[in-house]
Structure 1
Amino acid sequence: MTIWGLVIETTVGVGERKHTEAHVVAHLSGSRAEALAELERRARSHFPEHPRSPKRRRLLREGDGFLLVVDGAWQSFVTRFTVAEVLEDSAAPAAPEPVEASSTPVASASEQVEQVEQVEQVKQVERYADGVPVKPAWLGRHDLP
């Protein structure tokens, strides 16, 4: 099955420091039409950082995606949404190895209930009155730089 990358190229900065940055925001497997539909959903709901006071917003469809032009008081800012087939990814996760049904141990009902209770305990997070977690989710993670 084909894997599609959803790419957003947007104008950042202002004045002489204004430039374009590109980000792959998602990967989808499926048809190109499905990827374009998701890309259109994201383009319609996207509100770029600049301009701070938009005067006019235009969303245009092009061959492989969409172009969002937002006019500000002094300048226009552009965001390009593109769908592209992923041909190579040096940081892609390894494909999981198939597991044979006979080698997979089946957990008993009591073990399954215990596993669900452990997951529910993990989900319970201490929060302030306004709902903000007391401890940030990223604190203590070793997979972050």
Structure 2
Amino acid sequence: MNAKKEPSIWQGFKAFLMRGNVVDLAVAVVIGAAFTNIVNSVVKGLINPLVGAIGTQNLDIYSACLSSSCKGDQGIQLMWGSVLGATLSFVITAAVVYFLMVLPMAKYLSRAEARRKAKEGTHEIIEVTELEVLKEIRDALVAQRGSGHDER
């Protein structure tokens, strides 16, 4: 029997790593980590001071008590200020990413796609015109052949 040799674990792992989506994912993680610093700087340096001018920059101090007395670490405290702060930070970060990265990239890609379609459209017009000319030439040759056969 001619048994097919299965690839080794190392060969399978190497093939897995060399697939494009793994490399793309690794690049995305590295770029995302680097971009996180930019976004955090924008949020910490610009957005938080603006929000702090209206209220407070530190929402962690806000909480609610579920037990009869909450002093220090005693009692059951709901730290809703921390949740609100994290939620606001997420929304602000998402807005910065959308308006500084996603929206400009989408506009660029749509313009590039429109240019590509316009370029393809001109080729199609030329091809259709050439096809029509070739059909006319064919029809003229067929007409000449038909008239030439009638004279014999």
Structure whose residues are more often strand by fraction: 1
Which structure has the higher relative contact order (CA within 8 Å, separation 6+)? 1
Q: Above 0.5 in TM-score? A: no
Structure whose residues are more often helix by fraction: 2
Q: TM-score range by the shorter chain?
A: under 0.3
Compute the TM-score of the two structures, normalised by the length of structure 1. Answer: 0.23
The structure whose Rg is larger is 2
